[in-house]
Amino acid sequence: MRYKILLTALALLGAVTTPMAQAQTKPIRLIVPYAAGGPLDVTARALAERVRDTLGTVIIENKPGAGGNIGADAVAKAAPDGLTIGIAATATHAVNPWLYSKMPYNAATDFAPITQMVRVPNVLVMNAEVAQRLNIHTLQDLIAYAKANPAKLNYGSGGNGSAGHLAGEMFKRDAGIFAVHIPYNGGNPAQLALLGAQVDFNFDNLATAAPNIRSGKLRALAVTTLTRSSALPDIPPVADTLKGFAIDTWWGLVAPAATPKDVLNRLNQAFVAALNAPETKTRFAILLAEPVPSTGEEFGKLMANERAKYEKLVKASGARVD
């Protein structure tokens, strides 16, 4: 009789196994909506290693394409059991909803936020020789020159609707100046154009621009975060001149919308602990990325605010992808 009771109890326990319990025995799939080797991929792999003791194996799956939409859509349509999570980035969850006429997912409703991961400043840079020739040493100098020489400046970006393009449009709007936008097929060609003095200034990712800033080929005039960056402590933020200006790159973790709250809490605790680890901060510093652990609610609010900001910027710029 006791043997039968034990078997019955075990059967009942198996029948009520929760997604959280399943996550302890099955690997978690973390979808990165961009190619392997980039900053998002590197940071995801670093965190996957650090949460192994609490969450078990986390497998990174790269699903690039359509500006990140393919990978984000795979997360949105996955089973909400905590076994599939993904990275939400500035493009996939703030810019693309306004850049693409047809989206495969709803960035506002198809995801449950887990935590923000990082923030990476962008930086306003000029070709150092051009800056010297035009006698531009500060952001105020650039704005004054643009106002005194209407339509003589231009700036490059990695393409219509890219972070560099939208940062440039925001800068022009807030500074009350005009500069011709020249889109290139990616961030690297845009930087090469700046180094070759084919364009006057760019808004570039700090991690990408830093080596040329340090070598003296580029002159950094301002960072785009509200406060100074620890990576370039001597460079003031644009916001010192144009109040409230902030347009940096961020990404974080999300799950499908219907994922249970207890599963989200468990994921948040594990990844926040990993982000707070000194080893994580050291590894991310190489990418000039600042860990920003948060609650799910805080990350959700950030994404909502960013969508509202980029809606205005994308519509004002007229940029479209399809």
Tokens encoding 210: 């830093």
**Alpha-carbon gap, residue 202 to 196, rounded angstroms:** 12
Question: Is it the case that residue 168 has pLDDT exceeding 80?
Answer: yes
253: three-class secondary structure by DSSP: strand
φ, ψ of residue 277 in degrees (nearest 5): -65, 135
What does the pLDDT read at residue 289? 87
Q: How far is Cα 146 from Cα 155, in angstroms, rounded to an integer?
A: 12
pLDDT per position as a tens digit, 111-123: 999 999 999 889 9
Residue 263 and residue 23 in contact, taking contact as beta carbons nearer than 8 Å: yes
Q: pLDDT at position 303, please? A: 98
Do 2-119+249-317 and 122-240 fold alike per CATH? yes
pLDDT 10s digits, 70-92: 999 999 999 999 999 999 999 99
pLDDT tier for residue 2 given thresholds of 50, 70 and 90? very low
Q: How confident is the model at residue 24 (pLDDT cuts 50, 70, 90)?
A: low
In terms of DSSP bridges, do strands 84-89 and 58-62 run parallel, antiparallel, or are they unpaired? Answer: unpaired
Give tens-digit pLDDT for 216-237. 999 999 999 988 888 788 999 9
CATH 3.40.50.300 fits 122-240, yes or no: no
Indicate the domain borders of the chain. 2-119+249-317, 122-240
Position 287 confidence tier, pLDDT thresholds 50, 70, 90: confident
Is the per-residue pLDDT at 145 higher than 90? yes
Q: Do residues 262 and 81 lie in contact, with contact meaning Cβ atoms separated by under 8 Å? A: no
pLDDT, average across residues 92-108: 95
Q: To 10 degrees, what angle do helices 261-276 and 278-286 make?
A: 70
User: Tell me, what's the pLDDT at 271?
Assistant: 98
Alpha-carbon distance of 199 to 153, in angstroms, equals 8
**What pLDDT shows up at residue 4?**
44
pLDDT score for 321: 82
* CATH class in words for 2-119+249-317: alpha beta
pLDDT of residue 39: 87
Mean pLDDT computed over 187-209: 92
Averaged pLDDT, 253-270: 98
Task: Give the predicted TM-score (pTM) of the model.
Answer: 0.84
Q: What is the mean pLDDT of residues 291-295?
A: 96
Helix/strand/coil for 291: strand
* Spatial strand order in the sheet of 122-127: 180-183, 154-157, 201-205, 122-127, 218-223
pLDDT classification of 8: cutoffs 50, 70, 90: very low
Q: What is the pLDDT of residues 33-77, one digit of tens each?
A: 999 988 899 999 999 999 999 999 999 999 999 989 999 999 999
pLDDT for the residue 208: 84
- The share of the chain scoring above pLDDT 70, in percent, equals 93
Which helix (H) or strand (E) is 256 found in, with range? strand 249-256
- State residue 231's pLDDT score: 79
* Rounded Cα distance, 54 and 92, in Å: 28
Read off the amino acid at residue 101: S
Distance between CA atoms of residues 241 and 138, nearest Å:
10
Contacts of 239 by beta carbon, 8 Å cutoff, 6+ apart: 225, 226, 227, 245, 246
* DSSP string across 88-147: EEHIIIIIHHHH-SS-SS-TTTSEEEEEEEEEE-EEEEEEHHHHHHTT--SHHHHHHHHH
pLDDT at 319: 82
**Across residues 266-279, what is the average pLDDT?**
97
pLDDT for the residue 18:
41
| Range of weakest confidence among 39-53, 250-264, 305-319 | 305-319
pLDDT interval class at 12 (50, 70, 90): very low
* Closest to 245 (Cα-Cα) out of 227, 263, 219: 227
